[in-house]
């Protein structure tokens, strides 16, 4: 169900020139987390980071400063097992910036991160312009599988944005 939903949204793996592939168990061990079976199947199916050929949005449980007027937030990419935007490297990059209980699993617009709580399994939006504390976290979903199921196509931008190979949207 999760993979089918992602494919409906135009999800695809970023191109990758790396031959190194992390396994689920290696990534879980390095990040000190256990992923759900559903999220594991997504990681195995795509390997590399996942980008969307169309705009993709979600409606969070808790509002944040970057919500649209109708309460949605944008998802730019979900990190994968390998490539330049892999889970391990991204977590090393944000280690001293996000709350200790969190693991980054994706990127929202403007460099804010999608995070997974090690202790509760909840998914959060980390607002990178907020102070470094729990006030920078806004709950998106009670579990990662639910978060992925609730992703929807952003009809406003779907026809007007192209995704380049880095996963960035080109608006010019």
Short-list 110, 89, 109, 123, CA closest to 16: 89
pLDDT of residue 132: 60
Number of domains present in the structure of the chain:
1
Residue-wise DSSP of 52-85: EEEEEEE--SS--TT--TTS-EEEEEE-BSSSTT
Residue with tokens 């490297």: 89
Cβ contact 94:111 at 8 Å: no
Residues 6+ apart with CB under 8 A from 132: 97
- Say if residue 34's pLDDT is above 80: yes
Of 22-36, 40-54, 122-136, which range is least confident? 122-136
- pLDDT for 171 beyond 50: no
The CA-atom distances, in angstroms, between 150 and each of 46, 155, 172 are: 19, 15, 29
Cα dist from 43 to 12, 28, 66, whole Å: 12, 12, 27
* Residue 73 CB partners (closer than 8 Å, separation 6+): 57, 58, 59, 60, 64, 66, 67, 108, 109, 125, 140
Domain membership of residue 165 (yes or no) is no
Q: Which residue has the higher pLDDT, 8 or 54?
A: 8
Which CATH number does the domain housing residue 127 bear? Answer: 3.40.1580.10
Mean pLDDT on 17-40: 88
Residue 33 lies inside a defined structural domain of this protein: yes
Look at residue 131 in the predicted model and tell me its pLDDT.
Answer: 63
Structural domain boundaries, residue 57: 2-155
Domain assignment present for residue 39? The answer is yes
For residue range 110-159, what is the model confidence (pLDDT) as tens digits? 889 999 999 999 999 998 876 665 678 999 999 999 999 999 999 875 44
In a domain, 170, yes or no: no
Is the pLDDT score of 24 beyond 50?
yes
Per cent of the chain over pLDDT 70 is: 84
Whether pLDDT at 47 is above 80: no
Number of C-beta neighbours around residue 29 at 10 A: 12
Predicted model pTM: 0.86
Percent of the chain with pLDDT over 90: 65
User: Does a structural domain hold residue 171?
Assistant: no
pLDDT at 9: 94
Q: Is position 167 within any domain?
A: no
The single residue listed with the structure tokens 């977590």 is 91
Roughly how many angstroms between the first and final C-alpha of the chain, as a whole number? 35
Of 48, 150, 167, nearest in space to 108 by CA: 167
- Is 117 part of a structural domain of the chain? yes
DSSP 134-153: GGGEEEEESSHHHHHHT-EE
* 160 inside domain: no
Q: What average pLDDT does this structure show over 29-53? A: 94
More confident residue, 131 or 50: 50
């Amino acid at each position: 169900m999760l993979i089918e939903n992602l494919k409906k949204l135009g999800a695809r793996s970023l191109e990758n020139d790396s031959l190194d592939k992390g396994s689920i168990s290696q990534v879980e061990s390095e990040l000190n987390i256990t992923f759900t079976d559903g999220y594991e199947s997504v990681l195995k199916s795509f390997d590399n980071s996942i980008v969307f050929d169309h705009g993709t949005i979600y409606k969070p449980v808790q509002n944040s400063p970057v919500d649209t007027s109708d309460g949605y937030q944008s998802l730019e990419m979900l990190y994968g097992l390998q490539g330049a935007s892999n889970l391990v490297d991204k977590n090393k990059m944000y280690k001293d910036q996000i709350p200790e209980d969190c693991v980054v699993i994706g990127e929202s617009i403007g460099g804010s991160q999608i995070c997974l709580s090690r202790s509760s399994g909840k998914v959060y939006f980390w607002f990178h312009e907020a102070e470094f504390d729990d006030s920078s976290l806004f709950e998106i979903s009670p579990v990662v599988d639910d978060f992925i199921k609730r992703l929807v196509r952003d009809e406003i931008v779907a026809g007007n944005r192209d995704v380049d190979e880095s996963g960035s949207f080109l608006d010019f």
